[in-house]
Structure 1
Amino acid sequence: MEEIHSWHNGDFHLTTDQSKFNLDDIFQYLTKSTWAKGIDKRTVVGSIEASLCFGLFYKDIQIGFARFITDHFTFGYLCDVYVVDEWKEKKLGSWMMSCCHKHPSIQKLRRIILVTSTAGWLYEKHNYTPVNEPDYIWQIFRPKIYHNE
């Protein structure tokens, strides 16, 4: 079992303790998001169980989330990052990213990647840089995999 890590900032806290996560709230947010629209709950739960995840809370209410798919030694893929709309003005996304990058597993990774079309400004503040080399990152992308079409 992996060691639990937590960070505190007044009434806000971030934790890797998955027993504290509100899976229904995470699912509801992700299924309506632009990147995971239509995702099913079983997929959300399975992806959380298989990843290093961070839950952002105001007191006991979950207001944000971030997930790293990682081997904990060399590589990590950051995804499913959000702060619910009502809390976005508090700069909690930036605080959450700072804390995530303090996690011992994340600190030793050689490469961390992410994909975003809307929040590059946030990740740039945390030392992410765009990959502009031609033919450098390759993918299989199935944007309608969660749709029953």
Structure 2
Amino acid sequence: MRDDRYEISDDPARVDAALVHHWLSTDAYWALGRPRAVQDAAIAASLNFGAYDRETGTQVACARVVTDHATFAWLCDVYVTPAARGRGLATALATTARDHVEGLGVRLVLLATHDAHGVYKKVGFTPLAEPGHWMSYGL
């Protein structure tokens, strides 16, 4: 169950881009060393969700969705500050993002994780049914 001390918002004006960049580039295994310009471009081209302390307004977590707003979405950059972990915020962010893109008509949402399978399973994510059908390209 999520701690009611926090609220989830998809208002892009509330995202603290400098803070999100700091979190991801220094503490998230998938984004270590990510340049600020790259993070800012990613935020600008995505749907962004944040968790905020109701009392102070401070952002304590984030999630980002890359989508075509019609058929496909990629949930990424889900991060909760150490002080706010264990309060259901990652699950709440993933649920909010999932529900948002479902409302757009999106029927496929993917994500990648090394260590949070349990969080995403609660939201309905499952391993790929046919992983051999998928390919990737990375530089």
Which amino acid is the alignment partner of residue 14 of structure 2? K
- Corresponding residue for residue 121 of structure 2: 124
2:30 counterpart letter in structure 1: W
Code of the residue aligned with 1:15 in structure 2: it is S
Q: Comparing both structures, which one devotes a greater share of its residues to helix? A: 2
- Equivalent residue, structure 1, for 2:34: 39
CA–CA distance in 2 between the matches of 1:58 and 1:95?
A: 14
What is the RMSD computed on CA atoms of the aligned residues?
A: 1.5
Structure 2 unpaired stretches of 5+:
none
- Please state if 1:74 is matched with 2:68: no
Runs of 4+ in 1 over 3 A off after TM superposition: none
Unaligned 5+ runs, structure 1: 1-8, 143-149
What is the TM-score of this pair, normalised by structure 1? 0.82
Residues 1:94 and 2:100 are matched in the alignment: no
- RCO (CA 8 Å, sep 6+): is it higher in 1 or 2? 2
Identity %, equivalent residues: 28
Count of aligned pairs between the two proteins: 133
Whether the aligned pair in 1 keeps the contact of 2:12 and 2:48 (CA below 8 Å) is yes
Letter of the 1:29 counterpart: W
Counterpart-to-counterpart distance in 2, 1:134 and 1:14: 32
1:12-91 equivalences in 2 (<5 Å):
12-32=6-26, 33-59=28-54, 60-91=57-88
2:134 to 124, 133, 137: 137
Read off the aligned partner of 1:48 and give its amino acid letter. I
Shift of 1:132: 5.2
Question: In structure 2, how many angstroms separate the alpha carbons of the residues matched to 1:101 and 1:131?
Answer: 17
